[in-house]
Amino acid sequence: MAERWLYRGKIEHTAKTVELLYRTTYYVYSKARMLIRLGIGAALVIVSVAAALPMWARALLMLLGAWLMASKDFPSQIRADRVLEARGGSLPGMEYEFYSGRVHLSGEGSMDLPYKKFSRLVEDESYLYLFISKDSVCMLERASVEPQPAEELMKFLEGKTGLKWRREKSLLSMNLWDLRQIIRDIRESK
């Protein structure tokens, strides 16, 4: 007799979910890069205000600094746009079945993954992200999880992977603990 899944979920990708996937990946793996962009942007704005430069140079520095500060996740937008363009509007639907010792993925092909392959678990209001690496992530809709509530699946995955769920924060809501976690993540990825 075939083994029955314990939990399952799915996602039908749209342009919005692809952009959200790449943005979340960027926030998870490139937070230090975002902080550097923000710092360089702020420094350029300060120099444009404080330095005795011609008006055109001040305007140029101010413009570049403001753009760097405002476009903190610009690289993720570029990646998402490239993927959307390359796929020509043909976006995949993925299904995930969670068994006691593995996850079965199906959609554009199928494969089984052991739980120890996952490196990070991230959540937001609508989606769960199971990261294998910077370039490999499983995204599923909370509302599609069976049986509900999705929190049961989340507890199950914490037990199987040994990882804790995280919620990525915006740069403005970060505190010292978050900065310390960024440094730990950088060290772990080396």
One-letter amino acid of 65: G
At 7, give phi and psi (nearest 5°): -140, 160
The average confidence (pLDDT) of the chain is: 85
- Mean pLDDT across 69-93: 84
Work out the pLDDT band at 131, boundaries 50, 70, 90: very high
Q: Is the dihedral of CA 7, 121, 132, 139 positive or negative?
A: positive
Where b means 16+ CB within 10 Å and e means fewer, 6-17 reads ebbbbbebeeeb
Q: For a pLDDT cut of 90, what percent of the chain falls above it?
A: 31
Query: Which comes out higher in pLDDT, residue 8 or 31?
Result: 8
Distance of alpha carbon 89 from alpha carbon 151, whole angstroms: 32
- Mean pLDDT across 80-96: 85
Query: Which comes out higher in pLDDT, residue 172 or 136?
Result: 136
Work out the pLDDT band at 128, boundaries 50, 70, 90: very high
Where b means 16+ CB within 10 Å and e means fewer, 31-42 reads beebeebeeebe
Work out the pLDDT band at 121, boundaries 50, 70, 90: very high
Specify the pLDDT at position 4: 86
At 171 the three-state DSSP class reads helix
Work out the pLDDT band at 108, boundaries 50, 70, 90: confident
Specify the pLDDT at position 181: 66
Q: Are 131 and 27 in contact (CB under 8 A)?
A: no
Most confident segment among 42-46, 88-92, 178-182: 42-46
Query: Which comes out higher in pLDDT, residue 87 or 170?
Result: 87
**What's the chain's length in residues?**
190
- Mean pLDDT across 136-140: 89
